[in-house]
Amino acid sequence: MKKHHYNPDACTACTSCVIHCPVAQAVREFQGPKLAGPAGERFRLQEDEWESALEYCSNCKNCDISCPSRVPISTLNMKARAQYYKTHKQPLRDWILSHGEQMAKMAGLTPGLANLGMNNVVSKAILKTIGISNKAPLPAYASESFIKQFKKIKQQTYANKAVFYPGCFVNYNQPQVGLDVVAVLQANKFEVIVPEAAVCCSSPLVVNGYMDEAEANAHKNIAILQDYVKKGYPIITACTSCGLMLKQEYQELFTIEGIEQVASHIYDIAEFLLELYDKGQLNTNFAKQTGRYLYHAPCHLRVQGIGTPSLELVRMIPGIEVIDADAGCCGISGNYGFKADKHDIAMAVGNTLFETIKTSGIDTVLSECGTCRLQIAHGAGAKTVHPISIVRAAYDRK
Amino acid sequence: MRTSDVIVIGGGLAGLTAAIAAVGRGRQVTLMTSGAGTLAIGGGTIDLLGYLENNTLVATPRAGLSLLPPEHPYSKVGSQVVEDAVQFFLTMCQEESFAYTGGLDQIQWLPTAIGTVKPSCLVPLTMDSTPIQTASQVVVVGFTRLKDYFPELISKGLGTIPGFQKEYQEIVVDPGFTGGRDVTTLDIARWLDTIQGQQVCREQLVKHMKPGSVVIIPPVLGSRPSYVVRDTLEKMLNCKFVEAVIMPTAVVGLRLRAMLLQRAKRLGVTIMEQAHVVKAVQESKRVTAVITGNVDRERSYPTKAVVLATGGFFGGGIVAEHDSIGEPIFDLPVTAPAEREEWGTRNLFADAAQPFAKIGIQVDTNLRPVNSEGQVVLENVYVAGRNLAGYDYCLEKSGNGVALVSGYKAGLNC
């Protein structure tokens, strides 16, 4: 670890992480991040069976956000969880939830049928028996993946190129977000490249302990993205968890040649556009809109240390009012809230956010993270939109 | 190019106060934080000045101010600024519906979990100890499995202190928590945030308490900056609560931080979490941008002024290596005894000052950093809080006081 302190002994046991942990707040069975992470490391050196604390961590990273000593607490938990499952049996449920990409590819053969299959009573009962909550907001598959739709777009060619890494959720579940990213980049005179061979960032693999597969994916992605980085192209993501994994968690977890160079070229789409603005190059020819929104900052954005660029960007559009919900974690944390034994915890974690939304009098919530959007729709009954779609609409309606 | 009027580095009491004071003057403020800061786990009272250098008790904080040496941060900014900062804080708390009580003309004596009393200045209404001093009987409430909190220790200790020699009775409340985790005051405070928790607590207390009782309780009367939980329970039980000072993590600091964050955001301060500032761009004696160094890359943020409130040794604002000491962002001069042997005294529990406590950055009367000749090193950088040299918060009981006063002053000047 170069720039990141990886030393668990940097932990001073100040407990800042414990008081800011949303899971510890929701469930007393969780020992909290300090014991699960840095303190647990000491016990794990001696005992094999010290895993009970690891079970509850959702990898939401509020511990990392609160730590004054920059200990990557959540990553210590994830590494220990992977180590634990090397010698212990892992449920089928975890495999299914970590392999969304493979599941989507299978479903992609017959998405209509797959969605029908996921959402009927019988299938939900089957999912429940393997440990997936029958109340959880499982995402529907799109009828056509982003990459398939992207190939049909006739882009304007420009000298400026940008690489867009869609990630599984945009590719298989909500391709419209990806199409909006492409349209916005085109409106800013960038030609978009989508690396088709890139694989799942491995965020769901890491949280479920499939560390070897995650490392293999990381090697593959870095090798692919490296070629573009060498040409000086920026790598853009619209999913905050993919972005965090590519630029930060890979470095915390794995040693891969060239990883730092790739990390230094990864941008959140809104961050990228604001950098264009700073250089006087952003197309600010926004048509006046009408809209009042709440904004939910995903935890995986907050931990990146780049502020909330989407909020800033959307506020540049005339006629749009956005209020920062500022109500903490939504609870879903990737696929944590899909698990039968974690669904209630996830709902308890998100309760402050849900109540904030319900009492706001605003019916639409903006958020960059796909699973945050699912959880917000599920817990607060609100409409949800990726902020980039608002930006695209402002370019379109002139 | 987006340029801030002020970038405040550090989200503790000094940084938040500076940000709120500056945004109140119409400045466009960005607050950069790294971690949640000690404010969240600390005591949350504003201890302004309890003891002088020779360990003598002040008559009042105001009387103590005039006896401080010229290098003390309070002496640097002057007593009028101290007075204004106290007023600024009290008004702010009032406006946020989370009033604090106290002032420069009296010491607030606070009962502690080890049965002693500690001098403070501005305290939340839940910690005002006047009801104890006027009562004849006092109930000390503890909670089952709560760590580091023993009602007997409190009554035994307080019973020997003038003004606190009362008839004490101890009661233990069982919140019925499951799970193997240690019980903290925050767990209990979150439980008492709920109506169900309040009712269970009432049921267990009501049978032991006479109407009009004064009750010492750990800081558990709600996790948020509000007196709703206290008011509800006092009404239910017809009693008066006084929260005791405890070890970290104390919920009192968490409440104060939440109140300050809420105010800062509402007034328009832009807050960037996990923005680890590593260095700055300078043009002669002015800083034009600060640079964050996150795991992925460095980013530059242009600004017209900077408030440096990154803390002391614990917060990372001052870093001591084996053979060096420094301020890591601007490389500001840090004043420390030349020989390491002179940093500490070996009599750890002698109630005497430890020289390392006063290590910090020397500033002018406007809190701008100066070199050993007293010349300003950076004209648009203002230093606040534990970065500052010349005070010993531990001995003086002046930690949050210096943070508040210097944060306020920096926010006015930047």
Residue A65: list chain B partners with CB under 8 A: 35-36, 273-274
Using left for φ > 0, alpha for ψ between -120 and 50, and beta otherwise, residue B12 falls in: beta
Confidence of residue A6 (pLDDT cuts 50, 70, 90): low
Subunit contact A31:B181, Cβ cutoff 8 A: yes
**Taking CA A375 as the corner, what is the angle to CA A372 and CA A378, rounded to the nearest 5 degrees?**
150
CB neighbours of residue A194 within 10 Å: 18
Which candidate from A69, A277, A305 shows the least CB-CB separation from B272? A305
Strand, helix or coil for residue A33: helix
- By C-alpha distance, which of B51, B64, B77 is closest to B363? B77
Per-residue model confidence (pLDDT) at position A251: 94
Residue B248: list chain A partners with CB under 8 A: 14-15
Non-local (6+) Cβ contacts of B249 within 8 A are A15, A16, A18, A19, B40, B41, B184, B185, B186
Residue B270: list chain A partners with CB under 8 A: 307
Flag whether pLDDT at A46 surpasses 80: no
Mean pLDDT value of segment A87-114:
81
Flag whether pLDDT at A5 surpasses 60: no
Least confident of A125-129, A233-237, A390-394, B288-292: A125-129
Mutate to test the interface with A, among B295, B303, B386 (most CBs of A within 10 A): B295
Q: Which residue on chain A is closest to B10 by alpha carbon?
A: A68
Mean pLDDT value of segment B248-267:
96
Q: Decide the pairing of beta strands B214-217 and B240-243.
A: parallel
Which candidate from A28, A64, A278 shows the least CB-CB separation from B181? A28
Which candidate from A65, A266, A278 shows the least CB-CB separation from B1? A278
Range ranked top by mean pLDDT from A35-44, A50-59, B343-352, B395-404: B395-404
- Which residues on adjacent β-strands are paired with residue B138? B168, B214
Subunit contact A278:B2, Cβ cutoff 8 A: yes
Residue B178: list chain A partners with CB under 8 A: 28-29
Per-residue model confidence (pLDDT) at position A49: 59
Residue B273: list chain A partners with CB under 8 A: 65, 302-303, 305, 307
Q: How confident is the model over B349-399, as pLDDT tens digits?
A: 887 888 999 999 999 999 999 999 999 999 999 999 999 999 999 999 999
Distance CA B254, CA A220 (A): 44
Locus of tokens 């001696």: A46
- Which residues on adjacent β-strands are paired with residue B9? B32, B308
Per-residue model confidence (pLDDT) at position A278: 96
Which candidate from A14, A252, A305 shows the least CB-CB separation from B294? A305
Distance CA B33, CA B361 (A): 20
Q: Would you call A69 an interface residue with chain B, using a CB distance cutoff of 8 Å?
A: yes
Locus of tokens 């029958």: A134
- Extract the tokens encoding B179: 């799970």
b vs e for B262-273, b when ≥16 Cβ sit within 10 Å of the residue's Cβ?
ebbbeeebbbbb
Confidence of residue A398 (pLDDT cuts 50, 70, 90): low
Range ranked top by mean pLDDT from A32-36, A92-96, A394-398, B316-320: B316-320
Query: How far are the Cα atoms of A205, A210, A219 from residue A82, in angstroms, in the given order?
Result: 10, 6, 18
Flag whether pLDDT at A3 surpasses 60: no
Mutate to test the interface with B, among A4, A12, A16 (most CBs of B within 10 A): A16
Distance from the B213 Cα atom to the nearest Cα atom in chain A, whole angstroms: 32
- Extract the tokens encoding A375: 């959880």
Share of chain A above pLDDT 90, in %: 74
Q: Would you call A24 an interface residue with chain B, using a CB distance cutoff of 8 Å?
A: yes
Which H helix or E strand runs over A25?
A: helix A22-26
- Between residues B63 and B180, the one the model is more confident about: B63
Q: Are B360 and B387 in contact (CB under 8 A)?
A: yes
Q: Are A178 and A166 in contact (CB under 8 A)?
A: yes
CB neighbours of residue B379 within 10 Å: 13
What string of H, E and C letters represents the secondary structure of chain B?
A: CCCEEEEEECCCHHHHHHHHHHHHCCCCEEEECCCCCHHHCCCCCECCCCECCCCCECCCHHHHHCCCCCCCHHHHHCHHHHHHHHHHHHHHHHHCCCCEEECCCCCEEEEECCCCEEEECEEEHHHCCHHHHHCCEEEEEEECCECCCCHHHHHHHHCCCCCCCCEEEEEEECCCCCCCCCECHHHHHHHHHCHHHHHHHHHHHHCCCCCCCEEEECCCCCCCCCCHHHHHHHHHHCCEEEECECCCCCHHHHHHHHHHHHHHHHCCCEEECCCCEEEEEEECCEEEEEEEECCCCEEEEEEEEEEECCCCCCCCCCEEECCEEECCCCCCCEECCCCHHHCCCCCCCCCCCCHHHHCEECECCCCCEECCCCCECCCCEEECHHHECCCCHHHHCCHHHHHHHHHHHHHHHC
Confidence of residue A261 (pLDDT cuts 50, 70, 90): very high
End-to-end, the C-alpha distance of chain B in Å comes to 20
Which candidate from B40, B190, B275 shows the least CB-CB separation from A16? B40
Distance from the B32 Cα atom to the nearest Cα atom in chain A, whole angstroms: 9
Q: Which residue on chain B is closest to A69 by alpha carbon?
A: B35
Residue A4: list chain B partners with CB under 8 A: 295
Strand, helix or coil for residue A363: coil
Which candidate from B34, B186, B293 shows the least CB-CB separation from A19? B186
Least confident of A91-100, A292-301, B163-172: A91-100
Least confident of A119-128, A217-226, A307-316: A119-128
Mutate to test the interface with A, among B38, B144, B274 (most CBs of A within 10 A): B274
Which H helix or E strand runs over A253?
A: helix A250-253
Per-residue model confidence (pLDDT) at position B130: 95
- Extract the tokens encoding B243: 């929260």
- By C-alpha distance, which of A269, A246, A239, A266 is closest to A372? A239
Distance from the B47 Cα atom to the nearest Cα atom in chain A, whole angstroms: 21
Sheet holding A320-324, edge to edge: A320-324, A291-295, A364-366, A383-385
Subunit contact A14:B41, Cβ cutoff 8 A: yes
Q: Would you call A247 an interface residue with chain B, using a CB distance cutoff of 8 Å?
A: yes
Confidence of residue A1 (pLDDT cuts 50, 70, 90): very low
Mutate to test the interface with B, among A18, A19, A55, A246 (most CBs of B within 10 A): A19
Distance from the B38 Cα atom to the nearest Cα atom in chain A, whole angstroms: 8
Phi, psi for residue B126 in degrees, rounded to 5: -70, -10
Residue A16: list chain B partners with CB under 8 A: 35-37, 40-41, 249
Non-local (6+) Cβ contacts of A390 within 8 A are A289, A291, A293, A314, A317, A320, A366
Flag whether pLDDT at A130 surpasses 90: no
Subunit contact A326:B295, Cβ cutoff 8 A: no
Residue B310: list chain A partners with CB under 8 A: none
Distance CA B2, CA B44 (A): 35
Distance from the A32 Cα atom to the nearest Cα atom in chain B, whole angstroms: 8
Subunit contact B40:A66, Cβ cutoff 8 A: yes
Residue A305: list chain B partners with CB under 8 A: 272-276, 292, 294
Distance CA A85, CA A99 (A): 16
Interface TM-score (ipTM) > 0.90: yes
Flag whether pLDDT at B138 surpasses 70: yes
- By C-alpha distance, which of B339, B378, B369, B343 is closest to B358? B343
Q: How many residues does chain B have?
A: 414
Distance CA A270, CA A362 (A): 23
Distance from the B207 Cα atom to the nearest Cα atom in chain A, whole angstroms: 28
Share of chain B above pLDDT 90, in %: 89
Q: What is the pTM of this model?
A: 0.95
Subunit contact B178:A12, Cβ cutoff 8 A: no
Per-residue model confidence (pLDDT) at position A52: 66
Query: How far are the Cα atoms of A315, A393, B29, B280, B307 from residue B300, in angstroms, in the given order?
Result: 22, 30, 16, 8, 16
Phi, psi for residue A289 in degrees, rounded to 5: -115, 170
Q: Decide the pairing of beta strands B319-321 and B324-326.
A: antiparallel
Confidence of residue A177 (pLDDT cuts 50, 70, 90): very high
Mean pLDDT of chain B: 96
Distance CA B224, CA B236 (A): 20
Confidence of residue A4 (pLDDT cuts 50, 70, 90): low
Confidence of residue A9 (pLDDT cuts 50, 70, 90): confident
Mutate to test the interface with B, among A2, A3, A254 (most CBs of B within 10 A): A3
- By C-alpha distance, which of B405, B388, B347 is closest to B55? B347
Per-residue model confidence (pLDDT) at position B37: 84
Mean pLDDT of chain A: 92
Q: Which residue on chain B is closest to A65 by alpha carbon?
A: B35
Mean pLDDT value of segment A312-338:
96
Mutate to test the interface with A, among B296, B299, B314 (most CBs of A within 10 A): B296
Q: How many residues does chain A have?
A: 398
Q: Which residue on chain B is closest to A246 by alpha carbon?
A: B296
Flag whether pLDDT at A348 surpasses 50: yes
Confidence of residue A35 (pLDDT cuts 50, 70, 90): confident
Share of chain B above pLDDT 70, in %: 100
Subunit contact B2:A248, Cβ cutoff 8 A: no
Q: Would you call A12 an interface residue with chain B, using a CB distance cutoff of 8 Å?
A: yes
Q: Which residue on chain B is closest to A30 by alpha carbon?
A: B181
Subunit contact B274:A65, Cβ cutoff 8 A: yes
